[in-house]
Each structure stands twice: as C-alpha cells, then as structure tokens.
Structure 1
C-alpha cells in the first residue's frame, strides 16, 4: 500500500536540494533512453502532468474509465502517445533552479518525429516534488510551451510531414480518444500576445517602483525579460532577478487578461 504523501514542511527535513534536482533530471534522461519503466517510476502515486499547460492534464491515482482501475494508466498512455514513437532531446539553456521543493528548467526541446521531420519548442518546465513511499517523487510537471508554433513546424504537404500528421492523429485517437485529441488541439488557445503584454506592463511598473507590482513580484523587480511563452492561463519568461538568471511565472485571469499572481524563481 502506498504511503500518504507527507506535507511539504516534513519533506524539507528529509530531502536535499540535490536530491530534488537529481529527480527532475532523471525525467529527460529516461525520455531520451526510451525507458518507460524508469520514467513512470519517478512519479508519486497521485500526480499531474500538464504537457502542454492549457491542454488536458494527465491525472494519476484517480479512477481511470479506460481501464476501470486506479493507478498510472493515463500516464502510461501519455508516454505511448507522445514519447515512445519520437526521439526527444533536451537542450538546457540556463542553470536549473531549485526553489524549495520545486525545480525550474529553462530549455528547448527538440523532437524527431520520423522521416526527417524535427520540431523544436522553447519551454519552461516546472517540476513539483513530494515524498512518496519514503523517497522524493514528482507530483506535478507543468510544461510551458506554445502549441501553434509546434504545429506550424510539422504542417505541410510533403510526404514525410503528411505521414507524421497521419500517424500522430491515429495514435492520439487510439490512445487518448476523441476527447483527448480535441483537448490537445484546443491547447493552442492561450492568453497569447495580450497576456504577454500584460506581463510586460507588470514588469515595467515594478521597475518604476510601483508598490502593487513589486508586491506581486515578491518585492523583486526583474529585468532582461526574454523568451516569453504563453500557455493556457500562464505566461512565463526568462529574466534576471537579483543579478542572476531567473524564470518568471505569471498567472492570468482568462476573462480580463490581468495578472492575478506571479512567482519569480531564482
């Protein structure tokens, strides 16, 4: 029987930053090696994978209608749909950030889809960890990347791209069902450029000394904002804070596109 996840206050007395960082780094290693068993073993019994953020989350440990049982079957289907058939490489652009029980990675992911078709996605990855069965485990991965540019890279009328598109569609329908396939496509809808503009205004206001903006950024004005990504209700950005590389996560109200909360990871 699985142990009940321990609250974060307890976890911090039992794990180290290096253990948490090592755990997060094992994920891309298992993906690159196509080691499904190792990858699934990194996750807590109850887990969430948002890849991409804005799409349908993969929920583990809950009742799964497809198999009629609780467990990690949805995560296994996610692997079979998006990871197993592809060659995936992580290109790390900055040092990884460990903040409490979270790890943030600033990367570009390169996916070989077969037939010489390759797509690249700038990405900010957030790993949230917990303690499960006495060891650190991943309880949530949030992969922030933009779906539309990825679609554009694989769209086309040449034979290789048509085969890739047909294979992806058939695999998604078989493993994710019609609802899952549609949900993935709908992930193209995000707060978009207007959301990015709202984040730029927040950053500029904080730089001018606006108290409310500074408080939202945790009292830490940021600068050198680059690589902005809009995914779902979130805008992330590579930046500088306190003279060091940082990643800004801003969460927006989808109705008025105002920033409701923000976290600066350094």
Structure 2
C-alpha cells in the first residue's frame, strides 16, 4: 500500500476530532474491517471484525462498547506536545490527554499514540491504535473519598460492568501492571550503550543512535520514549521480556 503522508495525518487527526464532537458513527467509520485498539497498551485489546459472542455476529460491536464506556460520557481533549511523525504507514503522536469525567473531576495522561493504517475498501483506514499511557497515575487522579470522585468512580465501574462484563473490567484494571521503572531503566541503559558504540545495542536499535530522551512511558511490556534521531524528533518503542526486563525488540519512528 502506498499512502500520501498527508492522507495518513488526516486519518489520524480525524479520530480526536470525532471524539471531541462525540460523533460515534464518524469515529467507528475510521476503522478498517479488521482492527485492534490497545487503549491502554497492556490491557485487553479491542478486536474488531471477529465474531462477537455477546452480539453473536461479526463487526464493530466491541469497538462501539469501548466508545460507550470510555468516550461517550466524557469530555476528552488532546494537547499535542510535539509535531506528529509519519513513518511508513504509522502516525505517531506525542500528546497529553485531558479527560473531564464530570462533577469537576479532571485527569491528565501523558501519552504516545500510534495509528497504524491499512487500505480498506480503497481508502486508508485505521488498522490499529496503540495508546501508551500509565494507568496507575490516572487512577490516582480520580480516586478519593470526595463526593464528586466517589460518584465518578461508581458511574465508571457501572459502565464497565455493563459494557465490558466482569472479565473485561478486570482485564482493564490489570493494565496497571507494567514493566514500570525497572523497564524504563533498562531502556535508558540500552540507549546509553548504543551511544557508547556497543554493537549489540546498536543492532537492537536498528543502527540508529537515539538521543535527548524526554517523556518516557511504561505500559504493559513496552516502554516508549520521546527522543531525537539525527537531531529530529523521533519516538523509541521498546518491547521487553517481563521476566528478564531485557529489550527484545525496538522500533524507532522518525
């Protein structure tokens, strides 16, 4: 598939635009027939185009339930931190998501977003969204014993149980487990080793020398970091073995 970077950017930008306008049908229409949404990475992915046992049919029903649970009741705003990166069929966005949950409760989540595109019915559509953000700090912002936070928490739990079921709700909460600070340390050491000229570290990074790491996020078995390559903005995405905390794969988007 050959795609114009401008078309890919338009596709990626259409997602937060539909979210801001609470346009569910427009948002669902951005996705290819078969799609996956990892939001957050480390939680249970939303799979579309497969058989949905709850509705007993194939389609976008799991994605629609995701919308009803996490998007529909909230006011979600994207604050862009750096220029977007288009690398092949992937658009990378460095953002902070502001979620207004009602009753004056607001949460902010630093995030790296990956939109992977494919050609579906002759048009570029979203095949995968990977939202890298840390669940524990988000939970900490909305947890509490104030009437507003208790009401928001109760409402959120009710929606999750209704739309996702007990298993889906537990799976979402399990995303709080990640490679965490030890994983971030392992990635920093990898980058430092590559900077010193270590051949194994350079091979892992595809021969690219990564510098100027700023925002770094651990989600599931991944660590992402805002960085530079040859002085230009880039994103480092590392996949780790959870038992050894060894980086087994690294993608550099630049």
Deviations 1:154-182 (A, max 9, x none): 01110000000000000000000000100
**Structure 1 residue 234 corresponds to structure 2 residue 222:** yes
Q: Secondary structure at the match of 1:225?
A: coil
**Structure 1 residue 34 corresponds to structure 2 residue 22:** yes
In structure 1, what is the equivalent of residue 118 of structure 2? 130
Deviations 1:89-145 (A, max 9, x none): 000000000000000000000000000000000000001100000100000000000
CA distance in 1, matches of 2:170, 2:32: 27
CA distance in 1, matches of 2:242, 2:114: 21
In structure 1, what is the equivalent of residue 77 of structure 2? 89
In structure 1, what is the equivalent of residue 88 of structure 2? 100
* 1:224 CA drift (Å): 1.1
Q: Secondary structure at the match of 1:54?
A: coil
**Structure 1 residue 243 corresponds to structure 2 residue 231:** yes
Query: Which stretch shifts more, 58-67 or 208-217?
Result: 208-217
* 1:255 CA drift (Å): 1.5
CA distance in 2, matches of 1:141, 1:107: 14
**Structure 1 residue 152 corresponds to structure 2 residue 140:** yes
CA distance in 2, matches of 1:136, 1:222: 30
In structure 1, what is the equivalent of residue 208 of structure 2? 220
Please point out which of 92, 97, 104 is paired with 1:116.
104
CA distance in 2, matches of 1:64, 1:99: 33
In structure 1, what is the equivalent of residue 168 of structure 2? 180
In structure 1, what is the equivalent of residue 182 of structure 2? 194
Segments of 5+ residues of structure 1 without an aligned counterpart are 1-10
CA distance in 2, matches of 1:70, 1:261: 33
**Structure 1 residue 166 corresponds to structure 2 residue 161:** no
Q: Secondary structure at the match of 2:225?
A: strand
Please point out which of 39, 43, 60 is paired with 1:72.
60
CA distance in 2, matches of 1:95, 1:227: 14
The TM-score, its normalising length taken from structure 1, stands at 0.95
RMSD of aligned Cα (Å): 0.5
CA distance in 1, matches of 2:70, 2:63: 11
**Structure 1 residue 19 corresponds to structure 2 residue 7:** yes
Q: Secondary structure at the match of 1:112?
A: strand
The TM-score, its normalising length taken from structure 2, stands at 0.99
Runs of 4+ in 1 over 3 A off after TM superposition: none
CA distance in 2, matches of 1:74, 1:218: 36
CA distance in 1, matches of 2:124, 2:253: 20
* 1:218 CA drift (Å): 1.5
Q: Secondary structure at the match of 2:214?
A: strand
Q: Secondary structure at the match of 1:218?
A: coil
Segments of 5+ residues of structure 2 without an aligned counterpart are none
